[in-house]
Amino acid sequence: MMKYISTRGNAPELTFEDVLLTGLATDGGLYVPKDVPQFSLEEIESWRDLPYTELAHKVIYPFVEGCVDSAALQKMLNEVYSGFGHKAVAPLQQIDHNEYVLELFHGPTLAFKDFALQLLGRLLDYVLERRHEKVVIMGATSGDTGSAAIEGTKACRNVDIFILHPHGKVSEVQRRQMTTVKGDNIFNIAIEGNFDQAQDMVKASFGDQQFLRGERKLVAVNSINWARIMAQIVYYFYSALNLGGPLRPMAYSVPTGNFGDIFAGYMAKKMGLPVEQLIIATNSNDVLHRLMSKNQYEVHPLQHTITPSMDIAVSSNFERLLFDLYDRDGAKLADLMARMNAKKDVVSLDEDKLAKARELFDSYAVSEDMTVATMQEVFGETGYLLDPHTAIGVKAARECRRNQNIPMITLGTAHPVKFEEAVLRAGFDMPKLPHHLTDLMEREERLNVLPADLATVQSFIAKNTFKD
């Protein structure tokens, strides 16, 4: 049975089931597998003709073995991905010689987060039914996570879900995808502040759950939950196998906010997939690019951009990579994270650790003007409209590419219809909403606007959880 350990080395080892329901470790760290599953090139090659759902089972099952029955997992995967709007689930779109966009936006909420959150909802129901427990999901979103989490858990019988988003700072489509879903267990909270304030309130609530009276547990749905990362590893294997992998290496460019999606690519490499390069593509909120290029970690004030899903000043999942870079020494990492989280001084990594990261990772920060120009450029070359986040990935890929002879795959993280400001600024007509969302703008919205105050938010959650 797979065991999971905290990046800060001072929390109990847990099973997958417990990690699913835990979120942050008790020492403030993030859970990672104690031992990473290893696959040989021959084994990976034998998966070449598998459909997405069967490949997903091969990749995911080692992480959940002993907690989730093999047949039950396959049933969940079949249910999740049969609901996607493209039979290939994660199709590749070629935009140049040896250059591709991996389309991850064919799920119900038109964003890559559907891959993980649809599965997460089913895993939660499976585990909670068996344990006869109910939980509260609390999450913060800069755009896409919230709608995907709500969509994935709306039918869960044992879950109340509270999603915080920054008021007026997500696109209208993103907001409506959260606020128009009906369900007595769904609560949308618009915070009068930014994403980082919302995220800080979520983290503080996980650290002190007294407002839930000891009757319920908080569960995380953002990418600190290992189940999110686990599900996202699959499409790295799927895309590689469709382009001649594992017999040839691949390179990936990943629009990066919280570092979860690109960390999944790093995990794929650790598991045996030949990945030659991973590019951290950021917008002007470029804390990771500054660290990778200058070895300076300094949190700057958050900037609001036309790529709201990347408007994040602190990339939580980067801690998981640092844990490996520091040889899985929890004490050393705890000290480093204390300095990084203090947000007072410029923090640098040990030079040998940074050199180790640079063997695989490159980074590039893309301005709004560059983003718009890339959308125009790719459309002019191919007639293909990128969403602005994917455009950042494509621009970074073209600037940082090390080897023209291996496929460069940019993760297409969302459908352009979700980002009206960027599409119009680039001079294009808005694409139509997919069929299942054609009436989105007419649906009734439900949300509560609250101040960025922890006590107020916790009181709201308690009041709506315990209706006695």
State phi, psi for 409 to the nearest 5 degrees.
-115, 120
- From residue 251, alpha-carbon distances to 50, 236, 280 in Å are 22, 10, 12
Give every CB contact of residue 68 below 8 A, 6+ residues apart in sequence: 16, 17, 61, 123, 126, 127
Residue type, 85: G
Q: Name the strands in the sheet holding 92-96, side by side, starting at the edge strand that comes first in the sequence.
A: 92-96, 99-103, 408-412, 250-255, 275-282, 361-365
- How many whole angstroms separate alpha carbon 136 and alpha carbon 461? 9
Look at residue 276 and give its three-state secondary structure: strand
**Is 269 one of the annotated active-site residues of the chain?**
no
Task: Give the CA count within 13 Å in the CB-facing half-sphere of 251.
Answer: 26
Distance from the Cα of residue 245 to its chain's centroid: 24
166's tokens: 């920054």
Alpha helix ranges (H) inside 208-325: 226-232, 234-242, 260-270, 287-294, 318-325
Instruction: Kindly calculate the radius of gyration of the chain based on its CA atoms and give it in whole angstroms.
Output: 21
- How many whole angstroms separate alpha carbon 251 and alpha carbon 410? 9
- Report which of 263, 199, 280 is spatially closest to residue 228, judged by C-alpha positions: 263
Alpha helix ranges (H) inside 276-364: 287-294, 318-325, 330-342, 351-358
- How many whole angstroms separate alpha carbon 61 and alpha carbon 40? 16
327's tokens: 């040889």
E strands, 154-222, are: 159-166, 186-192, 217-219
Which DSSP helix (H) or strand (E) runs through 255? strand 250-255
Question: DSSP letters along 56-121, please?
Answer: HHHHHHHHHTTTS-HHHHHHHHHHHHHTSSSTTSS-EEEEETTEEEEE---STTSBTTHHHHHHHH
- How many whole angstroms separate alpha carbon 14 and alpha carbon 6? 9
Among residues 58, 113, 169, 395, the one annotated as catalytic is 113
Report the catalytic residues. Answer: 113
